[in-house]
């Protein structure tokens, strides 16, 4: 299975009561269908997955599968702390039609899990029982656990673990993974501010929160890379850097949802305890997105 190109980890639409908002799921997905995004990741961190019940995750998987174009690859965010529940969610997503699962590093018991042996055991145990292939998801800035290159290399040998989403923004680590993993294992990145250089060193694609609000800009960088137009890739990387930082490292999901509203998608409210961005931050985001359309 090839995971090349740009995948948004889609934001979860909530209505004013805080419930899942089906019509806005449809609105966003059908608008993204008009782009050349490679597919969608549903219930990743950007989707506020840690705020969702298992029933809500399953509902979102069903709705996105209903509205997604047949050309789009569907990836379910299924990682939770235990092997047992992760396997159950992964196999439920498989039944709905998802082709791969993105599984984040377990991190609640950091002192017990922040080592290569524990990380390898977790992912191998999930992969052994999963009906669809796995993508490892590493985001140490949030989890406090940074999966080692050694662990990734060992896991790349497993026939049901096909990729990693490396969201640390550490280009040196990305390069080391690409050099050392088993041939055919795919390295994707999760950092829009370093998209072009990550692709240049060998990443095959990206799962980008920024692509929720600005898919065309991300696709432009991908296409420039694919056609070896390094000047265009570098130019567009420079154009998006401020906006990408605003809706990721600076203002996070509340900022991203405001940018989606700004660009014609539905961002809507976040789920408590997250809170909307202030009017001052809204102005900063508006300025950062000048010239970057949805």
- Digit-coded pLDDT (tens) for 32-55: 999 999 999 999 999 999 999 999
* In the predicted structure, residue 155 carries a pLDDT above the cut 90: yes
pLDDT of residue 293: 82
Average pLDDT over residues 73-82: 98
What span, in angstroms and rounded, lies between the C-alpha atoms of 162 and 79?
15
Nearest to 249 by CA among 174, 199, 287, 193: 193
Left, alpha or beta for 38 (phi > 0: left; psi -120 to 50: alpha)? Answer: alpha
pLDDT of residue 241: 95
What span, in angstroms and rounded, lies between the C-alpha atoms of 65 and 59?
10
Task: For 5-237, give the CATH class.
Answer: alpha beta
* In the predicted structure, residue 164 carries a pLDDT above the cut 90: yes
Q: Sheet holding 5-7: strands in order across?
A: 5-7, 205-207, 186-189, 161-166, 134-138, 100-104, 73-77, 39-42
* Peptide bond before residue 90 is cis, with ω within 30 degrees of 0: no
- Residues with active-site annotation: 165
Left, alpha or beta for 220 (phi > 0: left; psi -120 to 50: alpha)? Answer: alpha
- Mean pLDDT, the chain, as a whole number? 96
In the chain, % of residues over pLDDT 90: 97
Half-sphere exposure of 169 (CA within 13 A, CB side): 12
What span, in angstroms and rounded, lies between the C-alpha atoms of 176 and 179?
5
DSSP for 273-293, written as a single string: TS-PPPHHHHHHHHHHTTT--
- Digit-coded pLDDT (tens) for 26-37: 999 999 999 999
């Amino acid at each position: 299975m090839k995971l090349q190109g740009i995948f948004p980890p889609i934001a979860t639409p909530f209505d004013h009561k805080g419930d899942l908002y089906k019509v806005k799921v449809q609105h966003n997905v059908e608008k993204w269908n008009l782009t050349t995004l490679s597919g969608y990741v549903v219930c990743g961190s950007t989707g506020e997955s840690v705020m969702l019940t298992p029933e809500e995750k399953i509902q979102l998987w069903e709705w996105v599968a209903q509205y997604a174009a047949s050309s789009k690859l569907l990836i379910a965010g299924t990682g939770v702390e235990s092997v047992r529940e992760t396997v159950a969610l992964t196999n439920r997503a498989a039944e709905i039609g998802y082709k791969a699962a993105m599984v984040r590093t377990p991190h609640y018991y950091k002192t017990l899990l922040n080592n290569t042996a524990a990380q390898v055991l977790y992912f191998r145990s999930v992969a052994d029982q999963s009906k669809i292939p796995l993508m490892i998801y590493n985001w140490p800035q949030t989890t406090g656990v940074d999966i080692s290159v050694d662990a990734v290399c060992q896991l790349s040998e497993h026939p049901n673990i096909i990729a990693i989403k490396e969201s640390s923004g550490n280009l040196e680590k990305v390069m080391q993974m690409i050099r050392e993993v088993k041939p055919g294992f795919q390295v994707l990145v999760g950092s829009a501010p370093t998209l072009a250089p990550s692709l240049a060193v060998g990443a095959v694609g990206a799962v980008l929160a920024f692509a929720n609000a600005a898919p065309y800009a991300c696709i432009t960088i991908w296409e420039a890379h694919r056609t070896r137009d390094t000047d265009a890739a570098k130019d567009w990387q420079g154009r998006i850097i401020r906006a990408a930082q605003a809706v990721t490292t600076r203002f996070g999901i509340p900022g991203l949802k405001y940018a989606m509203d700004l660009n014609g998608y539905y961002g809507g409210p976040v789920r408590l305890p997250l809170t909307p961005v202030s009017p001052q931050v809204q102005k900063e985001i508006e300025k950062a997105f000048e010239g970057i359309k949805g």
